[in-house]
């Protein structure tokens, strides 16, 4: 049995102890953080409270989480690797995007999953997650392509587009 939080105050107290450089508060039953949220390597198996806003990175890696519905739709970056709920296409995407070059793509993918309610009531909806990944890849691909069309002299943009085609498609 993993770490369990019965009240939002208990959870926020835990967060504040792990994130002394962040300002973490509760408003209307939802959690807001100015700064990073670190809750990794702690054996957490469920987060029954929702983050509304994190103005920083959120790291929930290496726990016992099966669902990620607690994540905010907007954060600088997400890390949910090393959890048993990271399986199937979600694991594939997490593994492909582990390099810093693809972190922006991974973050966009996680945001799209949250917007489309992939995680609900502790369950991952794998029926839609693959479609979200395809849409995310397509969106990012066309953004890179448009950047390369606007500035064809930019070597980095062209190489990113080529690398994207080889690795991600």
Alpha-carbon span 72 to 77, nearest angstrom: 10
DSSP secondary structure letter of residue 33:
E
How much is the pTM? 0.80
Q: Comparing C-alpha atoms, which of 111, 118, 116, 112 is closest to residue 87?
A: 118
Alpha-carbon span 153 to 148, nearest angstrom: 8
Phi, psi values for residue 104, rounded to 5°: -65, -40
Q: What is the pLDDT along the chain (169 residues), one digit of tens a residue?
A: 578 899 999 999 999 999 999 999 999 999 999 999 999 999 999 898 999 999 999 999 999 999 999 999 989 999 999 999 999 888 888 887 776 667 888 898 999 999 999 999 888 898 899 899 888 888 876 666 665 555 555 555 555 656 555 555 5
């Amino acid at each position: 049995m993993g770490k369990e939080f019965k009240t939002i105050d208990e959870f926020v107290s835990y967060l504040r102890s792990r994130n002394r450089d962040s300002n973490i508060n509760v408003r209307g039953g939802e959690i807001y953080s100015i700064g990073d949220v670190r809750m990794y390597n702690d054996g957490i198996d469920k987060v029954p409270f929702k983050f509304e806003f994190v103005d920083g990175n959120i790291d929930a890696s290496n726990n016992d989480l099966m669902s990620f519905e607690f994540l905010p739709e907007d954060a600088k970056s997400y890390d949910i690797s090393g959890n048993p709920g990271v399986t199937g296409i979600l694991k594939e995407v997490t593994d492909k995007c582990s390099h810093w070059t693809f972190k922006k793509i991974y973050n966009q993918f996680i945001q799209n999953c949250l917007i489309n309610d992939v995680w609900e009531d502790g369950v991952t909806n794998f029926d839609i997650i693959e479609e979200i990944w395809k849409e995310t890849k397509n969106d990012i691909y066309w953004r890179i392509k448009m950047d390369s069309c606007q500035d064809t002299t930019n070597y980095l943009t062209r190489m990113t587009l080529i690398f994207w085609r080889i690795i991600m498609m």
